[in-house]
Amino acid sequence: MESYRILLTNSQIEYLSHQPENGMGYQIVDLTLKSGDVLMKKVVLNCSFLQLDDQEQLNVEDIIKIELHRD
């Protein structure tokens, strides 16, 4: 499956910069979208780049909340 990345906003980057990593260089997050959908267990690289699958067409404006994923 192909993937692509979007750059998060400064406030999202700032928030993630203060959250623990899940492994070297990445965090696993849940995203709440404007539509009400919640995308779970997505990868963010370097607190900045959200990695998405090709079929998940998203803009950063679609995200209203980003949180670390909790198992």
Partner 1 sequence: MIYKTYLSDTSKLLSLPETGMGYQIIEGKLFLEDKIRQYVVYNCELAVDLDDDFLVNRRKIIDKGFSNALNESKSLLINTDSIKIVTGKPTYETRLLSAYKQSKNKRHSGGKGAKENPKENTDGNETFVRVSAYENDKRIDFKRKRLIEGSYTTTLIDYYDCITTDDNPVDRYALPNDEPVRWAFYIKPAIRDVLQRGIVQPAFGHEGGGIEAFFEKGTSDNTLYLKKEYGVL
Binding site for partner 1 (CB under 8 A): 13, 16-21, 23-26, 43, 45-48, 51
Q: Nearest Cα to 33, choosing from 4, 57, 2?
A: 57
Whether 8 and 61 have beta carbons less than 8 Å apart is answered as: no
CB 36 → partner 1: shortest distance, Å?
26
What is the C-alpha to C-alpha distance for residues 57 and 23, in angstroms, rounded to an integer? 26
CA 16 to chain CA centroid, nearest Å:
9
Pick the closer one to partner 1 by CB: 32 or 51. Answer: 51
CB 43 → partner 1: shortest distance, Å?
4
CB 32 → partner 1: shortest distance, Å?
21
